[in-house]
Amino acid sequence: MEPALRVDRLSYEIQGRKILDGVSFQLECAQSLAISGPSGSGKSTLLSCILGLHTPSGGSITVAGTPITGLSSRKVARVRGEKIGMIFQFGELLPELSPLENVAIAGMLNGSPKSETFSRSAELLRELGIAPNQGLTGSLSGGERQRVAVARALINKPSLILADEPTGALDAANKESVSELLYSLPGKWDCGLIVVTHDVEVSALAQRKMSLRNAKITENTPPQKTGV
């Protein structure tokens, strides 16, 4: 089986400043990885490169066996829609839509039939403890919104899920429950998970931990082979 993600000698430079310098690592399916580092260390830049939103200065990125470096923006968008799920700090959901609509729209934008997508969206939301039509998404609590965001990330059955400070806006109770949910995903859905976080309690739950400092990445724990 192809790894969920392979990053090889990745570099990114802007205005003569190296943000990423020869970053290399591999993430298997059913494996979780937490990446930490100070503000401005390049964590979000790394995620943007993996998503194909930034063009690296050098190196390569392969998502579930598909190289994305060098592809046209249209082809990168297709790979992103099919193989990557993204979870943001504040959810980045549409508050005027229901949870069901927020999840389903991601599936339909990827070309899935409407009826099938709505059915799967409802199933995912119920599994995550959210009633699909329990009002507008804007009326939900922070923890509930992040569960909707997780369902949206899963709707296209991705090989890789990226989470950028997913608990940064949550209180302690919701942080714990959302963290446990996130780290259960690799084992349950056979996907790779990368969590970028400043929170040592959140990163401690990952199977693997890396630090990004001075444009270099280092592994802090030995890789594990099995999921949570």
Query: Residue 209 — pLDDT band, cuts 50, 70, 90?
Result: very high
Residue 55 tokens read as 């063009």
Q: What are phi and psi of 115, to 5 degrees?
A: -65, -45
Strand duo 160-164 + 84-87: pairing:
parallel
The whole model's pTM is what?
Answer: 0.92
What digits encode the pLDDT tens for the residues 124-141?
999 999 999 878 999 999
pLDDT surpassing 90 at residue 224: no
Q: How far apart are CA 123 and CA 127, in angstroms?
A: 6
Dihedral, 60, 64, 70, 73 alpha carbons, nearest 10: -130
Residue 133: per-residue pLDDT:
87
47 vs 121: CA distance, rounded Å: 25
Q: What are the pLDDT digits (tens) for 152-174?
A: 999 999 999 999 999 988 999 99
DSSP string, 107-140: HHHTT--HHHHHHHHHHHHHHTT--TTSS-GGGS
Is-contact 33 78, C-beta < 8 A?
no
CATH no., domain 5-91+158-219: 3.40.50.300
Res. 222: pLDDT tops 80: no
Render pLDDT for 62-92 as a digit per residue (tens, 0 to 9): 999 999 998 999 999 999 999 999 999 876 8
pLDDT tens sequence across 94-120? 999 999 999 999 999 999 999 999 999
CA distance 31 to 34: 10
Encode pLDDT of 19-32 as tens digits: 999 999 999 999 99
Q: Are 178 and 201 in contact (CB under 8 A)?
A: no
Beta strand pairing call for 5-14 and 58-63 = antiparallel
